[in-house]
A and B are shown apart, each in its own frame.
Chain A
Amino acid sequence: MTFSKKYKTIFLDVDTPALEKSEKVNIILSPSLYWVKKLTLFVKYVREVKKLLPSIFEDTLTAGNYNYSAYKNPHAVGEETEYFAFAYEDKKIIELLSQKNIPISNVASIRFAQSEMDSLETSYKIDESKSVYVKDDIVVVVPSMWLKESSELDLDSIVLSKHTISLQQFSHIIDPKSLYKIASIIVVLMILVIGELFITKQKTEYVEKQKSLLFSKNGLKSTMFQNKALLKKYKAINKKQTKLRKYIAHILSVRLQGSERLSLLEFKNKILNAKFSGVKKGHAISIESSLKSLLSKNTKIKKVYKNEILSLEISL
């Protein structure tokens, strides 16, 4: 038994007057707001009964979006397992609460009249025209005129049971089972994505580590900028040295006549200077053009001819 007396208790029926004051309340649902069945089932647990309820109520209920509840009959005698099973429409109850000026945030708890009033020994008036009474262990609402006499019902004197229900406010929008399925799929996807994210992060860290190893193993400078500059310097040296060897080979391959000799070969500050002695005026051009044909078009050659000495300055 739950002692919930700190809040006012309201009997919710279609004809219940709207609440004037905003306050937290315990709700007892009128039998007109739910379907109830007393069942004898050979199952041990309530959770097993709940699974069977949709098929048990299948033939009774009109079209709608129902939720189900059940609890063991506390007054059952013998070894039989008796249950009270309920079917109710959350949306209808929520709408009725709204009509009665009871915001859902002000609802402390909701119970069935069946669980709270099954011990009534006489009939009780719930309003001017209707009364509740217990018939064959089932709490029913009937017009007061059917009964000889009805007492006034003092709701605050009722000790509330633990058989509460929670209204699914959005069950008409989406079926909770579908919602769980969709949510499960999204969660599984998220786990996969996060797993992939973790693996990718590990791979990135591994690659970064390998890169650092490259730096330390090969004695590279600390920044790529420095290393690139160093590479550029060595490439320039390599280019210059390759050119130097190629140009010397070209100079040595020039065909000289009788008294012509290569008297000087000098390399300094990117300039390769070759001096040929004993060169006749007419043959100087021939030597120059012969060398030019061997070098690339962009190579700059400076020619000086004086006293049978041909000087060729080649820029590397």
Chain B
Amino acid sequence: MNQINPIYLGLLLVVFLFLSIFKLDEQRTELLEAKQSYKTTQKLTSELKDLKNLYSSKVKIKRELQRILNNPILKASSLVNKFSSSGVKISSKSMDFNALNKLMGKVLNASYNISSMKIKKLSDTKVSLSMEIKW
């Protein structure tokens, strides 16, 4: 006829209650961290996506550059374009100022990753150009 002291039972229930409250608190912290991590990832994703689009979108950059280089003024400048998997090399031993202005105006106003560039004045109307754009 042994019985368990109800105070012990009560204490046991209280302990279980506190344990579940503690666990809930832990889970809430975990949720908060997960939300923060999600926000950070979302921000990072958005930034990364934008920057990748600007500098690493190979197809897009290639298409845009080809459109620029197909301009009649630039076509007449006998530019040498070497496209590779990592970028493009544009060069001309001698080109017109107007053509250079046209090309550089388009390139500098867009977001291309110019890794090297050399513009040398040859005369009052002519320049030489060598430029490498990477993606």
Hey, which bits of chain A sit against chain B, CB under 8 A?
A: 104-105, 107-110, 166-170, 173-174, 176, 179, 182-183, 186-187, 189-190, 193-194, 196-197, 200-201, 203-204, 207-208, 210-211, 214-215, 218, 220, 224, 227-228, 230-231, 234-235, 237-238, 241, 244-245, 248, 261-268, 277
Hey, which bits of chain B sit against chain A, CB under 8 A?
A: 1-3, 5-7, 9-10, 13-14, 16-17, 20-21, 23-24, 27-28, 30-31, 34-35, 37-38, 40-42, 44-45, 47-49, 51-52, 54-56, 108, 111-114, 116-121
Question: A264: which of B17, B38, B54, B119 is its contact (CB, 8 Å)?
Answer: B119
A190 touches B16 (CB 8 A): yes
Dominant SS among interface residues on chain B: helix
Question: What residues of A have a CB within 8 angstroms of the CB of B52 in the complex?
Answer: 234
20 interchain pairs (CB within 8 A)? Answer: A170-B5, A170-B6, A183-B10, A183-B13, A186-B10, A186-B13, A187-B13, A193-B24, A197-B20, A200-B24, A208-B34, A215-B41, A220-B48, A224-B44, A227-B44, A228-B44, A231-B44, A235-B47, A263-B120, A264-B119
When chains A and B are docked, how far (Å) is the Cα of A187 from the Cα of B21?
13
**A-B pairs with beta carbons under 8 A, tally:** 142
B1 touches A105 (CB 8 A): yes
When chains A and B are docked, how far (Å) is the Cα of A183 from the Cα of B10?
7
Closest to A206 in B: B34
When chains A and B are docked, how far (Å) is the Cα of A6 from the Cα of B104?
110
When chains A and B are docked, how far (Å) is the Cα of A169 from the Cα of B47?
70
B38 touches A104 (CB 8 A): no
B27 touches A107 (CB 8 A): no
Question: What residues of A have a CB within 8 angstroms of the CB of B55 in the complex?
Answer: 234, 237-238, 241
- The 10 A-B residue pairs with the shortest CB-CB distance, nearest first, are A234-B51, A207-B34, A267-B117, A193-B20, A186-B13, A107-B1, A200-B27, A204-B31, A265-B119, A263-B121
Question: A193: which of B17, B38, B48, B113 is its contact (CB, 8 Å)?
Answer: B17
When chains A and B are docked, how far (Å) is the Cα of A193 from the Cα of B16?
11
